[in-house]
């Protein structure tokens, strides 16, 4: 077992290669190394180049927005792009500043065992959270490739359909970019920045989903172990009953000793469950401490983007293209909230289900010390755990629904305010 753990250790940090190598490699490809401390000078220069490309592209879009602030439709188009980029830059800053916390969170997973995790439930009808690891990696890989191909196709069409030397997006630089080789270098920097944005966002979501699935799979394993204590006890009692039927003259002292051995075995199993539960709680608390700043920024930017999209739709009623663009941005931000809140709700559900598993175990007739341990697990499980965004709001379905409802209320308010001048004018003409 020790040899296997050393084999799966990533760069000597105790990080499992199986779950995190793909995401760490993606981050390294865009210039952010979480685990390697001694990077070469060439990689350091490459990292500085990718970060410079990403942030300079963002600054160029902001400058272009300020420069064309009189054209509201044009400015809103740029603002939509800025909000999406702001999400990825916030993720980059959080990963860079909290690098040690993310590494520590990955190292904590090394205390868990994975060999006995099944991809399907006991009845074989549903998939467990352990089966989600390869699906998450596949989804992240497909999304990154798809968005790069889509944007690459858009850039090719944009550049070839115009006689001028267009850039990949609306942006403004303080120097002339139409001359070679400056134009080609700016194109390269913008394309590099876009790859940086796509990889950074989907990699963070992949890490987030992986952390959630690790915690949920371990909680599923703990639930199965608690129920297995009941099953083991039943088997022992059946065996004792069979022996009693076969050996009717067995002495009562022998039965007492058998019962004591059964309870000692159950107590040993329960002690293992308690230690396992404490490890999971320690991991979940570390996950909350690490992820809540990231989620705070993402939620704030997403809600701002949704409100701006609603405003843009109302202001451009009758113009199809701005409405479609704003609706797409609004839908993307709502999907972002759904992707994070749904997984947060799943973690909360799995954490509270441990109390149900304790109740369904065969605790009736067990010693007082055994029941006291069960009460300890139940009391811990009843303390509802949920991830939060900056300690302000929970990452749950309830939060997601509240945001959607408030967005709809804001949209209807804007519609009413836009129609109010026409309504007042109509009332004045009627009165006249």
- pLDDT tens digits for 21-30? 899 999 999 9
Q: Mean of the pLDDT values across residues 338-356?
A: 89
Q: Mean of the pLDDT values across residues 167-187?
A: 88
Give the pLDDT score at 151. Answer: 86
Q: Mean of the pLDDT values across residues 165-191?
A: 89
Give the pLDDT score at 196. Answer: 94
**pTM for this prediction:** 0.85
The percentage of residues in the chain with a pLDDT greater than 90, rounded to a whole number, is 32
Give the pLDDT score at 314. Answer: 82
| pLDDT confidence bin for 308, thresholds 50/70/90 | confident
| pLDDT confidence bin for 209, thresholds 50/70/90 | very high
CA distance 107 to 99: 12
pLDDT at 365 over 80: no
- The highest-confidence range among 299-303, 306-310, 420-424, by mean pLDDT, is 299-303
| pLDDT confidence bin for 4, thresholds 50/70/90 | very low
Higher pLDDT, 83 or 358: 83
Give the pLDDT score at 231. Answer: 45
* pLDDT (tens digit per residue) in 228-269: 775 444 444 444 444 444 445 444 444 444 567 777 777 788
Higher pLDDT, 184 or 35: 184
CA distance 395 to 406: 16
pLDDT at 121 over 80: no
The percentage of residues in the chain with a pLDDT greater than 70, rounded to a whole number, is 82
pLDDT at 118 over 90: no
Give the pLDDT score at 242. Answer: 47
| pLDDT confidence bin for 125, thresholds 50/70/90 | low
**Mean pLDDT in the chain?**
81
Q: Which residue has the tokens 């509270």?
A: 352
Half-sphere exposure of 389 (CA within 13 A, CB side): 19
Tokens of 47: 């990292």
* pLDDT (tens digit per residue) in 60-104: 999 999 998 888 888 888 888 888 899 999 999 999 999 999 999
Q: Lowest-pLDDT range, 2-11, 39-48, 60-69, 348-357?
A: 2-11
| pLDDT confidence bin for 391, thresholds 50/70/90 | confident
């Amino acid at each position: 077992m020790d040899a296997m753990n050393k084999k799966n250790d990533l760069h000597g940090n105790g990080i499992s290669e199986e779950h995190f190598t793909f995401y760490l490699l993606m981050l390294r490809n865009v210039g952010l190394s979480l685990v390697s401390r001694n990077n070469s000078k060439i990689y350091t220069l490459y990292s500085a180049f990718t970060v410079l490309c990403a942030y300079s592209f963002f600054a160029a879009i902001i400058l272009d927005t300020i420069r064309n602030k009189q054209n509201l439709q044009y400015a809103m188009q740029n603002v939509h792009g800025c909000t999406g980029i702001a999400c990825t830059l916030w993720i980059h800053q959080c990963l860079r500043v909290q690098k040690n916390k993310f590494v520590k969170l990955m190292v904590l997973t090394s205390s868990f065992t994975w060999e006995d995790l099944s991809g399907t439930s006991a009845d074989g009808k549903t998939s467990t959270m352990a089966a989600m690891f390869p699906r998450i990696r596949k989804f992240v890989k497909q999304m990154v490739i798809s968005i790069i191909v889509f944007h690459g196709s858009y850039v090719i069409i944009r550049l070839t359909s115009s006689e001028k030397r267009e850039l990949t997006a609306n942006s403004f630089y303080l120097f002339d970019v139409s001359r070679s080789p400056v134009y080609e270098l700016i194109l390269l920097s913008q394309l590099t920045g876009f790859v940086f944005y796509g990889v950074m966002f989907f990699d963070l979501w992949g890490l987030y989903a992986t952390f959630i699935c690790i915690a949920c799979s371990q909680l599923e394993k703990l639930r199965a172990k608690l129920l297995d204590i009941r099953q083991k006890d039943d088997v022992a009692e059946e065996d004792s009953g069979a022996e009693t039927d076969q050996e009717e003259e067995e002495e009562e002292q022998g039965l007492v000793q058998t019962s004591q051995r059964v309870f000692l075995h159950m107590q040993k199993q329960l002690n293992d469950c308690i230690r396992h539960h404490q490890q999971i709680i320690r991991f979940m608390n570390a996950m909350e401490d690490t992820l809540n700043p990231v989620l705070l920024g993402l939620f704030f930017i997403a809600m701002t983007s949704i409100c701006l999209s609603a405003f843009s739709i109302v202001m451009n009623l009758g113009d199809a293209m701005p409405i479609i663009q704003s609706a797409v941005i609004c839908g993307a931000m709502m999907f972002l909230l759904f992707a994070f809140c749904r997984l947060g709700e799943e973690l909360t559900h799995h954490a509270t289900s441990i109390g149900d598993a304790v109740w369904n175990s065969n605790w009736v007739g067990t010693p007082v010390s055994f029941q006291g341990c069960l009460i300890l697990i139940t009391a811990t499980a009843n303390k509802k755990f949920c991830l939060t965004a900056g300690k302000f709001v929970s990452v749950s379905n309830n939060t997601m629904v509240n945001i959607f409802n408030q967005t709809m209320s804001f949209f209807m308010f804007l519609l009413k305010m836009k129609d109010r001048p026409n309504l007042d004018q109509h009332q004045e003409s009627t009165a006249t």
